[in-house]
Amino acid sequence: MNKGIHLSEVKEKFTDLQLITEQLGADPVITGINAVETCESGDLVFVSSKEYLELARQRQPAALVVSEKLAKDAAQEDHWGILVTGNVKLAHALIKQEYGGRDFLDTQWERVHPSAVIHPTVDIPDSSFVGPNVVIGQNAKLGERCRLLAGVVIENDVEIGSDCLFHPNCVIGYNCKIGNEVEIGSGTVIGSEGYGFAQDQNRKSHKIPQTGHVVIEDRVLLGACNTIDRATYGQTRIGAGTKTDNIIHIAHNVEIGEDCLFTPMLSVAGSSKFGDRCITSGQTEVSDHMNICNDVVLFHRAGVIKDITEPGMYAGLPTQPLNQHMKNTAHFRKLNELNKKVVALEKEIKKLSGE
């Protein structure tokens, strides 16, 4: 925060969203947002457990955002301000976005850096920023309030919506389409060549040109070093609101639904489809032409080699319902012990049968 604000101003900002249900105690001036463990006297902190509340009592920040369950306990001390919410984590996200996030429009460079290479057919809106060494190709379209940081490459005929943020050295390939409020991490490549080859009688591989494109819908966030391959024909699509972590590969013609959450080292092979609100844990692998329905969670290095048609939690290779996977894993740990018992039983049977 560049200047302090009263806690009541924070409350008013989020009243319409029904995020903050009540304000208790004092109305201090907030000068920063911090973790409970390292907070100082002017800070606002987020408290979701009794342990954190006790730590706040030791550190004495200016104000707390607490759950409804902790509100009465926190209000025993009236020297600090308290905002009560039904969702502390969501309050943390939205309040920090508003008051504590980095302002990427506040840059040390001029609006369009002189080192940027921009084709004459491209119109840069006055509200957008183009950083050092950015390259923008022929007929690319850029929306309002976009921020292209150093080294971003936008190839020809790309369409980009408004309020997008592209981190250093990401690449948007030709003909790709980017929606509104999209954030793309450093080193990520949108529209890389799909992996398609045909082999002749001598097992030599011949490239099948990948001439489709990629569509990234609104509010998508892609982490660093993602690769989203362009389609062979048609499109690869990432649905609105989906968020990916770093180091993820999405192959050609894949379709990802809305509001999915993907963690590192996910690999999705060509033409597979995810429904909405799917979640993957690290190192999940999905084979080609798989169909995964809505509301599926994949755990424990899941390997999808068969369609998943029922919502739920799955794990293992091949994937199986999580409860079944956990039971099988528990038995697997005892294989050596079970083997010894089987060998002993075989000896006893032979002995009893007179062999």
Same domain as 191, residue 280: yes
Domain span at residue 49? 5-99
Same domain, 283 and 190: yes
Angstrom distances, CA of residue 294 to CA of 7, 259, 265, 277, 291? 40, 10, 21, 6, 10
Quote the pLDDT of residue 353. Answer: 83
Mean pLDDT lowest among 28-42, 74-88, 103-117, 228-242? 103-117
Q: Is residue 29 part of a domain?
A: yes
Tell me the CATH number at 270: 2.160.10.10
Give CA–CA dist 136/76, Å, rounded: 58
179 and 271 in a common domain: yes
pLDDT in tens, 186-213: 999 999 999 999 999 999 999 999 999 9
Judge whether 337 lies within some domain.
Answer: no
Among 136, 133, 134, which Cα is nearest to 120's? Answer: 136
| Number of folded domains that form the chain | 2
95 & 184 share domain: no
Domain check: are 79 and 199 in the same one?
Answer: no
Q: Is residue 183 part of a domain?
A: yes
Tens digits of residue pLDDT in 13-53:
887 778 899 999 999 999 999 999 999 999 999 999 999 99
Q: Which two tokens stand for residue 245?
A: 């972590």
- My answer on whether 196 and 295 are in the same domain is yes
Asked if residue 122 is part of any domain, the answer here is no
| Residue 95 belongs to a domain | yes
Q: Would you list the DSSP string of 172-201? A: E-TT-EE-SS-EE-TT-EEEEPP--EEE-T
**Enzyme catalytic residues:** 252
Average pLDDT in the chain? 94
Within-domain flag for 31 = yes
Give residue-wise pLDDT tens across range 145-158. Answer: 999 999 999 999 99
Q: Count CB-CB contacts under 10 A for residue 16.
A: 7
C-alpha 55/C-alpha 194 separation (Å) is 51
* Exposed/middle/buried for residue 333 (C-beta within 10 Å: 0-12, 13-18, 19+): exposed
- The answer to whether residues 95 and 181 belong to one domain is no
Query: Which tokens belong to 280?
Result: 């993957």
- The reply to whether 88 falls in a domain is yes
CA dist., res. 259 & res. 255, Å (int): 13
End-to-end alpha carbon distance in the chain? 85
Residues 200 and 287 placed together within one structural domain of the fold: yes
User: What's the full length of the chain, in residues?
Assistant: 355
pLDDT (tens digit per residue) in 297-352 = 999 899 999 999 999 999 998 888 888 878 888 877 888 888 888 888 988 898 88
**Span 98-117, mean pLDDT?**
87
SS (H, E, C) 8-30: HHHHHHHCCCCCEEEEEECCCEE
Domain CATH code at residue 35: 3.40.1390.10
List, for residues 296-307, the tens digit of each pLDDT value: 999 989 999 999
pLDDT tens digit string along 266-305?
Answer: 999 999 999 999 999 999 999 999 999 999 999 989 999 9
Question: Amino acid letter at 226?
Answer: N
Residue 140 lies in a domain: no
Residues 194 and 95 in one domain: no
**What is d(CA 191, CA 193) in angstroms, rounded to the nearest whole number?**
6
Return phi, psi of residue 170, to 5°. Answer: -85, 160
Q: Can you tell me the mean pLDDT for 163-183? A: 98
